[in-house]
Structures are given as C-alpha cells and as structure tokens.
C-alpha cells in the first residue's frame, strides 16, 4: 500500500512540471547554474528551471545523435537559454513593429557577386561578438551598431575596429520600445538625423537593464562614426543580398528565432523547419558572408548574432542559402 501511494505522489509531482534530480542530473544542473551565473528567486522557479534544463539537454543529445548519423546538418548545445521553454525564449524576443515612413535612399551600384565571400574573413577584420543578455530584446540595436562598425572598418581599412555602442541606440533611438519591438531603421534614422555613433568605451552597453535608459551625452573627447544614409533590400531578393555582401556591405536582416534549432544552435548549417509556425518573434542578424559547406553539401549565409561567443559558432550562425527559404526579410544596410 505504501509503495502505491508513493508512486502516485511522484507521478502527480512530475506531471505538474516538477523534477526530482539525483546523481548526474543534479550535478549537471548545478554545474550549469555555476557556468552561466544562474540564480532563481524561488524554490519553485529553481525547480522549473531544473526540469526544463533536463528536458532541453535531452533534446540536444537526441538532435546531436541524429547529426552523428548525418540525418541533420547542424548540431545543438546547452547554452544560456537551456533552462527555459521554447515559448519563453520566443517571448524574450517580441515581434518587431516597423515605422510607416522610411528615409531609405536607393542602393549603391555594386559589382557582380563572387561565388563565395566573407567580409570579415576575406578582409581580415576582427569584431567583438556582443551579448544582448536576456533582459532586453535589443538585437535591433546590436545589429545596427555592428553593421555601422563593419561598414566603417571597411571604409577606413581597419582590421580591429572599436566596438560601437548598442546601448546608445537603445537609450537614444529606442523611443520607449528599445527593449521590445524596435527595429534597425529607427537606429539608422537617429544616426542620419541626430548623432554620431560612439564606441562602447564612451557609452558602455548594459545588459542588466530591462528597459531602455536615459539618453546620455558622450564625453567631450569621444570620437564617433557618422552615418550619411541607409538603404533597404526587397523582401526575398537573396540575389541582391549576395551582391551587396560581396561588395563589402554588411546587411541586417530580421529572422524568426522561435525554434529549438535556433535557440540551441551550436554549429553546422542550420536549416529551419519547412513547416515552422508563422513568426511571432524577431531577432536581427548581420549577414557578413556566404559560401558552400562541403560536409553538408549546402550553400549557406554566415550571420553575426548578439548572443555572445558561447552561442553558435563563436557567436555566428550559418543558415542554409536556398531559393525556397530566402533570408532577405526587412533587410537594411548603412551607407558610408
């Protein structure tokens, strides 16, 4: 009788979303919390994080077992998002809302695209991979700042440019939604009309903020980067996107991050589900290159994200380049 009661209690607790860990599971979760500096306000929150960590870790292992058998073309890994559900991850990155008016100018003339090209690798440019954190949906600002940074590095022939401030854009161009639904166009409008973009040493990024801060004047000695104009690429025009990237133009695109594969991407050529739900989330990436991967026999785009170097391929993701899955969506780029 006691055994039956005990089994019933355990089933109820586990069915309600709790997890009682023992042995390696508990050790792994404690190591995870230490590695990513995770703390939880309540015992309940800790238990739910524990449960979803185990769930996501097991999902990663199952996916990678498929990668080992060449059933899938990319690998996953436990990362800073592995203690939450996919729906929570998607909620961290709300759908972008666009202005009704654009000040974009016609794109510059370009040369035909090369077969393969990577702005950073081919020009020997080293940029810092930023981490937007989990408190503020600010990829629009990080992507815009990094695109301007790379554009300026190309123009000044600088191989190790200073990181430019996403926080300045969040605070000064956020317009009240800097941590939720803002877009790169607002960053470029702000820079072309009102201000230079300053280095992070003069306007530091702050990933602890859950809302945009006050717009601060830079130090009088600060030297910023000027933006004269910006241009856009029609949705779905991957041919034009390739041509611009091949001509050393970093292009920001909006991407749907609301899949397990993107959330826990580690390496390889990511192929999004062909029947993925309509995007209810937005993450902005900087397309810096494209090429061909012999291991998977796939063409790809190489994109810079803002989830830190512990995510993806040192902060980058390679996304399949296919006519049936165009990446060019709300694409925008700065002009020198």
The per-residue pLDDT for range 259-279, each reduced to its tens digit, is 999 999 999 999 999 775 566
Cβ-count burial 220-238 (b if 16+ within 10 Å, e if not): eeeebbebeebbbbeeeeb
Structure tokens at 332: 């925008």
Rounded Cα distance between 66 and 142, Å, is 33
Instruction: Tell me the pLDDT tens digit for each residue of 164-218.
Output: 999 999 999 999 999 999 999 999 999 999 999 999 999 999 999 999 999 999 8
Q: Are 76 and 265 in contact (CB under 8 A)?
A: yes
Rounded Cα distance between 182 and 212, Å, is 11
Task: Label the pairing between strands 265-270 and 74-76.
Answer: antiparallel
Q: Above 90 in pLDDT, residue 6?
A: no
CATH architecture entry for 89-335: Alpha-Beta Complex (3.90)
pLDDT of residue 218: 86
- 185 phi/psi in degrees, rounded to 5: -55, -40
Q: Average pLDDT, whole number, for the chain?
A: 92
Which alpha helices (H) appear in the chain, and where do they start and end? 2-15, 24-36, 43-68, 86-91, 119-123, 139-156, 166-173, 184-193, 238-246, 260-263
Instruction: Tell me the pLDDT tens digit for each residue of 181-191.
Output: 999 999 999 99
pLDDT of residue 167: 98
pLDDT of residue 222: 87
Instruction: Tell me the pLDDT tens digit for each residue of 97-106.
Output: 999 999 999 9
pLDDT of residue 221: 84
Confidence of residue 113 (pLDDT cuts 50, 70, 90): very high
Provide the 8-state DSSP code for 181. Answer: T
Residue 170 has a CB neighbour count (10 Å cut-off) of 27
N-to-C CA span, the chain: 77
Alpha-carbon distances, residue 115 vs 20, 147, 158, 299, 300 (angstroms) = 53, 22, 25, 10, 12
pLDDT of residue 10: 35
What is the percent of the chain where pLDDT is above 70?
92
The structural domains of the chain, with segments of one domain joined by +, span: 2-72, 89-335
């Amino acid at each position: 009788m006691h055994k039956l009661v005990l089994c019933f209690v355990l089933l109820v607790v586990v069915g309600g979303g709790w997890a009682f860990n023992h042995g390696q599971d508990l050790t792994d979760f404690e190591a995870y919390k230490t590695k990513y500096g995770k703390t939880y306000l309540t015992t309940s929150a800790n238990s739910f994080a524990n449960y979803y960590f185990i769930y996501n870790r097991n999902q990663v292992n199952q996916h990678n077992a498929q990668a080992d058998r060449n059933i899938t073309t990319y690998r996953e890994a436990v990362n800073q998002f592995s203690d939450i559900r996919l729906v929570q991850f998607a909620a961290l990155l709300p759908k972008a809302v666009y202005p009704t008016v654009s000040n974009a100018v016609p794109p510059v003339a370009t040369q035909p695209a090369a077969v393969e090209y990577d702005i950073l690798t081919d020009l020997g440019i080293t940029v810092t991979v930023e981490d937007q954190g989990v408190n503020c949906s600010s990829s629009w600002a990080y992507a815009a700042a990094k695109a301007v940074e790379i554009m300026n590095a190309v123009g000044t022939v600088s191989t190790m440019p200073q990181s430019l401030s996403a926080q300045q854009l969040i605070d000064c161009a956020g317009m009240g939604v800097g941590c939720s639904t803002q877009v790169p166009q607002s960053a470029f409008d702000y820079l072309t009309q009102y201000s230079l973009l300053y280095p992070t040493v003069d306007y530091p990024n702050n990933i602890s903020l859950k809302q945009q801060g006050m717009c601060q004047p830079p130090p009088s000695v600060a030297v910023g980067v000027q933006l004269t104009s910006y241009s856009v690429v029609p949705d779905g025009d991957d041919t034009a996107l390739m041509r611009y990237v091949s001509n050393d133009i970093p292009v920001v695109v909006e991407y749907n991050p609301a899949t397990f594969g993107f959330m826990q991407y580690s390496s390889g050529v990511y192929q999004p589900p062909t029947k993925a739900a309509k995007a209810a989330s937005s993450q902005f990436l900087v397309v810096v290159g494209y090429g061909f991967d012999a291991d998977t026999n796939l063409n790809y785009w190489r994109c810079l994200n803002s989830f830190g170097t512990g995510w993806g391929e040192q902060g980058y993701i390679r996304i399949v380049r296919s006519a049936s899955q165009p990446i060019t969506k709300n694409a925008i780029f700065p002009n020198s």
